[in-house]
């Protein structure tokens, strides 16, 4: 019944019942079409490795930028997800230097599989995406790598007697820093080789290269019998999981933390445990990094030279052997070798200037080779993921072992 007042008299009339649920749905649909993009979609980075800041949304365009956190100056890493955007075509804009030449990495299954799309984003500094459902789609500067990737990769080796998994230390936030040692229990290794990665949290490609190196060792009995390998996949573990840039942290990052007064738990543990593990034996240290996002030398795979001429000669010989042994589709050009002093970042810090790992490794008793390998952030290959990265490692491991 509907009652209303007319000239102080109350008149009641019958009315057709209203379908409340149907009216609510109509109202919601009308509101959805009326609301701007910002009120409908969800842009977030609340997952391991996530990093983004939303500056503004207008119509179907979103302006974004990397979350620098404690990084001093600009850096380029970003990784975010979009939900509830069915039927929308959205343009995402980012600042200069936030794309590689491969474009944007895209995953539609929660980060399990990735593909490169829209290489034109490198020049336009933007990309567009049409969402066909409300399911989450992830976008990243390059293909991410976090602890879950490491756990998935190493699962196949957990019962291998040649593989010993342990914890180097714990971070400020209580995370375990993984360490893997590979050798035959009955072997008598004369040389020990250390591989490290992610001194700078955002340099994710280095971990894929590390995977390929581990696979190659697992399939080579001579290596396991004669060489003992140790891997530290995440030096800046908190930064990797939190999605930090990790580069140029305040007051200094992990790769500037090898002077006496270290402030990061992992570097302190490396300085303590690695010399004890080496025990004065012949040793090789290879620190895996990634260069800047693009252009010039940054579009190449290259080694970084030492200030010491004898060590530089070994490094140059290694570089030539890499070229000779390269049977992959990847291009390796020894002329891209980064000589000490050629650019400011090649200078190896003293104790006063904050020591890098490569400098510290040179102080290890028995060290015969120490090197920094810069791995490309992305490769110009469509629908590629691990095979290309593992080719990167295949052309590196044999020459490293040849120097022993």
Work out the pLDDT band at 40, boundaries 50, 70, 90: confident
Work out the pLDDT band at 171, boundaries 50, 70, 90: very high
State the Cα–Cα distance between residues 161 and 387, nearest whole angstrom.
26
Contact 338, 303 (CB under 8 A): yes
Contact 323, 399 (CB under 8 A): no
Q: Quick: pLDDT tens for 320-355.
A: 998 888 887 788 899 999 999 998 888 755 445 689
- Dihedral (CA of 149, 150, 156, 159) sign: negative
At residue 286, the pLDDT reads 96
Q: What is the mean pLDDT of the chain?
A: 87
pLDDT, mean of residues 180-201: 94
- Asked whether residue 166 carries a pLDDT value surpassing 80, the answer given is yes
Kindly state the tokens that stand for 48. 């391991």
Work out the pLDDT band at 304, boundaries 50, 70, 90: very high
Which long-range contacts (C-beta less than 8 Å, at least 24 apart) are formed by 58-64?
Answer: 60/88, 60/89, 60/90, 60/91, 61/37, 61/90, 61/91, 61/92, 61/93, 62/37, 62/90, 62/91, 62/92, 62/93, 63/93, 64/92, 64/93, 64/94
Fold of 147-402: Aminopeptidase (3.40.630)
Instruction: Let me know the angle formed at the C-alpha of 256 by 253 and 257, rounded to the nearest 5 degrees.
Output: 85
Residue 330 neighbours by CB under 8 Å, 6+ apart: 301, 379, 388, 391, 392, 395
Work out the pLDDT band at 296, boundaries 50, 70, 90: confident
State the Cα–Cα distance between residues 59 and 35, nearest whole angstrom.
10
- Asked whether residue 395 carries a pLDDT value surpassing 60, the answer given is no
Tell me which DSSP letter residue 349 carries: P
Domain ranges across the chain: 37-140, 147-402
Per-residue buried b or exposed e for 21-35, using 16+ beta carbons within 10 Å of the residue's own CB:
eeeeeeeeeeeeeee
- Asked whether residue 35 carries a pLDDT value surpassing 80, the answer given is no
Domain 37-140 belongs to what architecture? Sandwich (2.60)
Most confident residue range from 3-12, 45-54, 217-226, 370-379 = 45-54
Higher-scoring residue by pLDDT: 345, 246: 246
37-140 and 147-402, same CATH topology: no
Work out the pLDDT band at 376, boundaries 50, 70, 90: confident
């Amino acid at each position: 019944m509907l009652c209303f007042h007319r000239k102080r008299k109350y008149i009641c009339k019958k009315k057709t019942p209203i379908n409340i649920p149907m009216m609510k749905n109509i109202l919601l649909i009308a509101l959805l079409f009326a609301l701007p993009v910002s009120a409908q979609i969800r842009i977030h980075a609340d997952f391991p490795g996530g990093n983004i800041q939303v500056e503004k949304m207008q119509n179907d365009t979103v302006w974004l930028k990397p979350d620098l956190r404690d990084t001093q100056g600009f850096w380029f890493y970003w990784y975010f997800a979009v939900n509830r955007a069915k039927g929308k075509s959205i343009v995402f804009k980012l600042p200069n230097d936030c794309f590689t030449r491969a474009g944007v990495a895209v995953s539609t299954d929660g980060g399990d599989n990735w593909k490169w799309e829209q290489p034109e984003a490198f020049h336009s500094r933007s990309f567009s995406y049409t969402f066909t459902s409300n399911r989450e789609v992830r976008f990243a500067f390059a293909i991410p790598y976090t602890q879950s990737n490491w756990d998935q990769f190493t699962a196949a080796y957990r019962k291998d007697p040649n593989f010993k998994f342990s914890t180097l230390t714990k971070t400020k936030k209580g995370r375990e820093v993984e360490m893997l040692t590979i050798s035959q229990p009955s072997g008598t290794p004369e040389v020990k080789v250390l591989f490290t990665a992610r001194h700078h949290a955002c340099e994710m490609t280095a971990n894929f290269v590390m995977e390929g190196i581990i696979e190659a060792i697992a399939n080579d009995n001579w290596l396991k019998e004669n060489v003992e390998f140790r891997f530290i996949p995440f030096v800046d573990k908190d930064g990797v999981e939190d999605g930090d840039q990790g580069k140029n942290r305040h007051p200094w990052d992990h790769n500037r933390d090898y002077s006496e007064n270290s402030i990061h738990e992992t570097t302190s543990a490396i300085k303590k445990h690695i010399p004890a593990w080496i025990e004065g034996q012949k040793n090789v240290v290879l620190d895996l990094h990634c260069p800047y996002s693009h252009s010039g030398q940054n579009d190449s795979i290259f080694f970084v030279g030492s200030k010491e001429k004898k060590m530089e000669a070994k490094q140059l010989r290694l570089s030539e052997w890499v070229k000779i042994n390269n049977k992959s589709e990847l291009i390796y050009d020894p002329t891209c070798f980064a000589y000490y002093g050629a650019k400011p970042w090649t200078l190896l810090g003293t104790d006063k200037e904050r020591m890098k790992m490569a400098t510290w490794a040179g102080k290890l008793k028995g060290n015969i080779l120490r090197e920094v390998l810069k791995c490309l952030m992305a490769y110009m290959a469509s629908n590629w993921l691990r095979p290309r990265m593992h080719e990167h490692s295949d052309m590196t491991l044999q020459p490293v072992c040849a120097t022993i």
